Amino acid sequence: MYYVHSLKCKDGFYVGCTDNIQERIEKHRKGQAPATVNRLPISLEFYFALDDKYKAFKFEKYLKLGSGRAFLKKHF
């Protein structure tokens, strides 16, 4: 399984993709992830589980674009 997740950070949102959601969130919370180390504290807003790696990365990319950001704001 691959997980696309969104974290609420002190300055907005972070979207990422991983194959181990628990480990990845723990790294973010402990400040061990470069992308969010200066954006703590974080909280998990949602995650989607997908069985295909390429679909997961494609969905992550979509969420980082304009229409994907609009989707996030509307639904989360």
Q: What is the pLDDT of residues 43-65, one digit of tens each?
A: 999 999 999 999 999 999 999 99
Classified by CATH at the fold level, domain 2-69 comes out as GIY-YIG endonuclease (3.40.1440)
Which tokens belong to 18? 């991983």
Locate the domains of the chain by residue range. Answer: 2-69
> Is the model's pTM score more than 0.85?
yes
Q: What is the mean pLDDT of residues 31-47?
A: 96
Closest CA to 63 of 10, 11, 31, 17: 17
Is residue 76 over pLDDT 80? Answer: no
Name residue, tokens 């703590």: 40
